[in-house]
């Protein structure tokens, strides 16, 4: 079993193989949409969102993901998959309603870390994977800044 309360810069299918059966209390995840999504609504065309999300055309990945989710989730637990990047209040509502304080929440497609941050805010345990190094670093920084603000009471 991997250490929890960490995000791993790794392919989620490979990473999930290192998780025990029935260890996860709730899945809150925003997978690649399978639509080769990229926005044109940015002035800066070099912005990360102007290039396609990794694996956004890979149906097999999502099918393998669901199989692995089924293995790592405890019985009678919930899994939420949606396209809602960045809407932290929505993620928080979902986590608060469907998990307890010591629960382990999983997200195999961490991106900029909305699920991870929501878990920090709600004192839930978290484990997740992000393949893209740049997103991984953005999320690490985002969580570090959040924890620093919390420490100094901003
Ligand atoms: C829709 S975005 C997630 C958005 C996220 N909820 C947020 O708060 O930004 C999907 C993410 O999955 C990542 N991804 C794609 N294939 C992956 C894989 N095989 N393993 C882990 N992450 C992957 C992409 O790099 C992208 O950051």
**Interval 138-151: pLDDT, tens:** 999 999 999 898 87
pLDDT of amino acid 57 = 85
127 or 46, greater pLDDT: 127
Share of the chain above pLDDT 70, in %: 91
* pLDDT tens figures, 80-90: 988 766 689 99
Q: How many C-beta neighbours within 10 Å does residue 8 have?
A: 19
Q: Is the pTM of this model over 0.85?
A: yes
Q: Which residues contact 139 (CB under 8 A, 6 or more apart)?
A: 7, 110, 111, 112, 113, 116, 130
* pLDDT tens figures, 19-62: 999 999 999 999 997 777 666 767 777 776 667 788 888 899 99
Question: What is the extent of the structural domain holding 111?
Answer: 6-152
CATH number for the domain spanning 89: value is 3.40.50.150
Residue 56 CA to ligand 1 center (angstroms) comes to 9
In a domain, residue 57? The reply is yes
In a domain, residue 113? The reply is yes
In a domain, residue 1? The reply is no
Nearest residue (by CA) to ligand 1, atom 3, is 111
pLDDT of amino acid 122 = 96
In a domain, residue 137? The reply is yes
State whether residue 35 is helix, strand or coil.
coil
Residue 13 CA to ligand 1 center (angstroms) comes to 12
Residue 152 CA to ligand 1 center (angstroms) comes to 31
In a domain, residue 13? The reply is yes
In a domain, residue 106? The reply is yes
Among 8-12, 104-108, 146-150, the least confident range:
146-150
Q: What's the number of domains the chain is made of?
A: 1
In a domain, residue 139? The reply is yes
pLDDT of amino acid 128 = 98
The partner residues of 73 in beta bridges, in order of sequence, read: 24
CA 146 to chain centre: 17
First to last CA, the chain: 35
Q: Calculate the alpha carbon distances from 37 to 48, 51, 131 in Å.
A: 12, 8, 17
pLDDT band at 154 (very low <50, low <70, confident <90, very high): low
3-state secondary structure 110-142: CCCCHHHHHHHHHCCEEEEECCCHHHHHHHHHH
pLDDT of amino acid 48 = 67
In a domain, residue 61? The reply is yes
What average pLDDT is seen over the chain? Answer: 90
Q: Which residues does a 6 A CB cutoff place in the pocket of ligand 1?
A: 11-12, 30-32, 53-55, 61, 85-86, 108-109, 111-114, 129-132, 135
């Amino acid at each position: 079993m991997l250490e929890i309360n960490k995000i791993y810069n790794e392919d989620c299918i490979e990473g999930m193989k290192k998780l025990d059966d029935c260890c996860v209390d709730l899945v809150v995840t925003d997978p690649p949409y399978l639509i080769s999504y990229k926005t044109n609504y940015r002035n800066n065309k070099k912005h990360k969102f102007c290039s396609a999300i990794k694996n956004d055309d890979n149906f097999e990945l999502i099918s393998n993901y669901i199989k692995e989710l089924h293995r790592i989730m405890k019985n009678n637990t919930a899994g939420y998959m949606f396209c809602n990047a960045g809407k932290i209040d929505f993620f928080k509502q979902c986590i608060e309603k469907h998990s307890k304080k010591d629960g382990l929440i999983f997200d195999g497609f961490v991106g900029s870390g909305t699920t991870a941050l929501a878990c920090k805010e709600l004192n839930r345990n978290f484990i997740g994977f992000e393949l893209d190094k740049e997103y991984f670093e953005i999320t690490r920084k985002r969580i570090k800044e959040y924890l620093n603000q919390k420490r100094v009471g901003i």
